[in-house]
Amino acid sequence: AQKVTQAQTEISVVEKEDVTLDCVYETRDTTYYLFWYKQPPSGELVFLIRRNSFDEQNEISGRYSWNFQKSTSSFNFTITASQVVDSAVYFCALSEAAGGGADGLTFGKGTHLIIQP
């Protein structure tokens, strides 16, 4: 079973629309961290946010916001008033205590977001 599921393979919206990228995770640990990375067409991986399992407060950074809900094991990412520059592949990732971090990150398969002008 996938530990990190990003069910939306591709999303296409028109510029200025709001869009939410879903991330559902699975872990038996009580201590874990969740991450979002952005991969623009240039290919590099850009860190966006980190959230620990004990902090369920929503996070907002400009047009970006994240909703963490332990009850549904979800860590969703919303872009408000999307822009063409937001077009990228977005990855959700999990870091668990069981591996002590040494096992690296477990990534979802990514969501390809296309913002049409």
Nearest-angstrom CA–CA distance, 13 and 45: 22
Determine the number of helices (DSSP H) and then strands (DSSP E) in the chain: 0, 12
Nearest approach, Cβ of residue 16 and another protein (Å): 29
* Identity of the residue numbered 58: N
Tokens describing residue 45: 């991986």
Binding mask 36-75 for another protein (x = CB under 8 A): -x-----xxx-x--x-x-----------------------
Q: Which C-beta is closer to another protein: that of 18 or that of 55?
A: 55
If the CB atoms of residues 28 and 117 are measured against another protein, the closer one turns out to be 28
